[in-house]
């Protein structure tokens, strides 16, 4: 497939030699801090002085994932119109993207994160709860996306905040919906059951191709592979859902796997 640069790219050159990247179409999910070691390679591509196909595959893959490089036949003006329509529809919901922790049990070869910050403090958690309590009456409901780092490394934060969000929405008679972006390594069937109780019903999990490809890229801190455990977790979860669906027609399960 042939690619082109997105029309919505922004590049900030920092004094320490690093880059900060942002794509306004993808929003907060596109934010990338580029290490000085690969700064020149990425900058030369984004400013159009180097061909897209000339950069290492792992860098190209990350830029595609975050929206900086798009298929050559994509009509970004049309995509922007669709995004604006969705934004208007979503204004009726209070939407929060919460990072329970910046820590991660993976050390993916293409990741630029530094994993500096630990899990969210209780004071910040209570501040978020207070904010939701104060503003929920202005909306039809609350939509929460759990992000990271690896959010399941701070499961206690997710549980505490979720309990309070559910309480607040129930008292205010508002809709509550929630989803999570996770690497899936710690998403066991038991953890899934816990998350389901907190109305976390949407899951985004990344598999970087087949086992050999995935285990070359998405590795643990000790360098070992992760493919088999993630897939086994998903299989166990599917079994749980199938068994529960017999007695509970309201149980829905959707996993978006990007490869």
Amino acid 229: pLDDT: 97
Side-chain-side CA neighbours of residue 172 (13 Å): 20
Asked whether residue 209 carries a pLDDT value surpassing 80, the answer given is: yes
Structure confidence at residue 187 as a pLDDT band (50, 70, 90): very high
- Of the candidates 16, 1, 12, 17, which has an alpha carbon nearest to the alpha carbon of residue 72? 1
| Residue-wise pLDDT tens digits, 168-183 | 999 999 999 999 999 9
Q: What is the mean pLDDT of residues 54-80?
A: 84
Judged against a pLDDT cut of 70, whether residue 247 lies above it is answered with no
Tell me how far apart the alpha carbons of residues 39 and 18 are, in angstroms, rounded to a whole number. Answer: 6
Regarding predicted confidence, which is higher, 91 or 186? Answer: 186
Least confident of 47-61, 123-137, 148-162, 241-255: 241-255
How far apart CA 259 and CA 251 sit, in angstroms, is 26
Mean pLDDT value across residues 206-231: 92
Q: Residue 62 above 90 pLDDT?
A: no
pLDDT band at 50 (very low <50, low <70, confident <90, very high): confident
Q: Could you read off the pLDDT of 111-133 as tens digits, one per residue? A: 877 888 889 999 999 999 999 99
Q: Is the pLDDT of residue 202 over 70?
A: yes
């Amino acid at each position: 497939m042939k690619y082109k640069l997105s029309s919505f790219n922004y590049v900030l050159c920092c004094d320490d030699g690093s880059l900060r990247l942002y794509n306004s179409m993808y929003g907060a999910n596109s934010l990338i801090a580029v290490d000085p070691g690969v700064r020149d390679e990425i900058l030369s591509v984004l400013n159009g002085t180097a061909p897209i196909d000339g950069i290492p595959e792992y860098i190209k893959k990350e830029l595609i994932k975050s929206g900086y490089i798009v298929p050559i036949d994509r009509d970004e003006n049309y995509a922007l119109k669709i995004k604006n329509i969705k934004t208007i529809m979503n204004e009726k919901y209070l939407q929060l993207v919460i990072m329970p922790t910046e820590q991660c049990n993976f050390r993916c070869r293409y990741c630029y994160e530094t994993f500096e910050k630990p899990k969210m403090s209780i004071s910040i958690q209570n501040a978020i709860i207070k904010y939701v309590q104060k503003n929920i009456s202005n909306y039809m409901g609350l939509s929460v996306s759990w992000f990271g780092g690896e959010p399941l490394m701070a499961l206690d934060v997710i549980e505490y905040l979720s309990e309070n969000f559910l309480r607040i929405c129930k008292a205010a008679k508002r809709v509550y919906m929630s989803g999570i972006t996770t690497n899936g390594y710690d998403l066991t069937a038991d953890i899934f059951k816990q998350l389901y109780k907190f109305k976390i019903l949407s899951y985004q999990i990344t598999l970087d191709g087949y086992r050999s490809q995935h285990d070359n890229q998405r590795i643990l801190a000790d360098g070992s592979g992760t493919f088999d455990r993630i897939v086994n977790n998903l299989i166990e979860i599917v079994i749980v859902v199938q068994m529960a669906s017999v007695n509970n027609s309201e149980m829905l399960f959707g996993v978006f796997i990007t490869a």
